[in-house]
Structure 1
Amino acid sequence: MKNFGPFSTYNPEKDTPEAALAENSNILFIKDNDGNEWYDVQRRFNEKTLKVVFDKSGVIYSASYDASSLWPVNAYVAEVSVDDIPDLFPLPIQGLDWQFNGAKIVPRTYTVEQLKTQAQRDKDILLNQAAKEIAPLKDAVDLNIATPDEQERLKAWMLYRVLLSRLDPGTAPDIDWPQSPQ
């Protein structure tokens, strides 16, 4: 399977058809460190293979069977046989949860710092969701118009929010997340 990159933008040599296209049609050109021009590279790929675009860490951020739909500026491109695509690999790409390890697609390995950052982001999202659930229930209680069901739901959401607020994202990935009220 073929592997190219990293690709970066360049200005075509003067007095070439590419230079005219770049100047007159605002077309960008990219090539890799070995001088392989992206528009030429696309023709070298097998139409039946998956092409993945990944960064220097191997994190895949784009993939397609059609190389012309990819734009790997500041990235690498590898060709992957259909037989080597993991069953759970999503197309189109959703998130940054997969890596190319030089030979195949594998689930992404996160550093502890990345896991801590993800945990803080997840905690913030869940706290915001809890606040949105609590606000109208709290209003109903404050106005003395809450039903018994609303009072119970308010209590459950408030407990959930307190438990979330006590979580330390610095302990990621070993976090025991509280269960969201239904």
Structure 2
Amino acid sequence: MQSFGKFIPYTPDTTDRPKIIDGQNVLFLQDDKGNDWYDVIDLFDESKTLKIGYDDDGRVRTFTTNIHALFPV
């Protein structure tokens, strides 16, 4: 099982990440351990795992097998 902290918006230090795609601003998220959301989504197995999102009180707020359907803000 993989577990990540609460993701919050941040601005990446590197210039290799696009800030605008198709005229839209990109929102980057990072957890308290420094994990970038766009990097960790590649760690999930689409076909075999249930992804669960919790609120600050530990209540389940969302779940899906499709990691791309989640945006944890």
* Shorter-chain TM-score tier: 0.7 to 0.9
Q: Which runs of 5+ in 1 are unaligned?
A: 74-182
Partner of 1:56: 56
State percent identity of aligned pairs.
Answer: 41
- Following TM superposition, where does structure 1 have runs of at least 4 consecutive aligned residues deviating by more than 2 angstroms? none
Partner of 1:143: none
Equivalent positions of 1:25-40 (< 5 A) are 25=21, 26-40=25-39
After TM superposition, give the deviation of residue 66 of structure 1 in Å: 1.0
Q: How high is the TM-score relative to the length of structure 1?
A: 0.36
Rg larger in structure: 1
What is the SS of the residue equivalent to 1:62?
strand
What is the SS of the residue equivalent to 2:72?
coil
What is the SS of the residue equivalent to 2:29?
strand
After TM superposition, give the deviation of residue 17 of structure 1 in Å: 2.1
After TM superposition, give the deviation of residue 5 of structure 1 in Å: 1.4
Q: How high is the TM-score relative to the length of structure 2?
A: 0.84
After TM superposition, give the deviation of residue 70 of structure 1 in Å: 0.2
After TM superposition, give the deviation of residue 8 of structure 1 in Å: 0.2
After TM superposition, give the deviation of residue 57 of structure 1 in Å: 1.2
After TM superposition, give the deviation of residue 46 of structure 1 in Å: 2.2
Equivalent positions of 1:61-80 (< 5 A) are 61-73=61-73
Amino acid at match of 1:34: K
Higher-helix-fraction structure: 1
Q: Please give the per-residue CA displacement for 1:94-143, whole angstroms capped at 9, x wherever unaligned.
A: xxxxxxxxxxxxxxxxxxxxxxxxxxxxxxxxxxxxxxxxxxxxxxxxxx
What do you get for the CA RMSD once the two structures are aligned? 1.2
C-alpha distance in 2, partners of 1:72/1:60? 12
Q: Which runs of 5+ in 2 are unaligned?
A: none
Equivalent positions of 1:38-117 (< 5 A) are 38-47=37-46, 48-73=48-73
Partner of 1:104: none
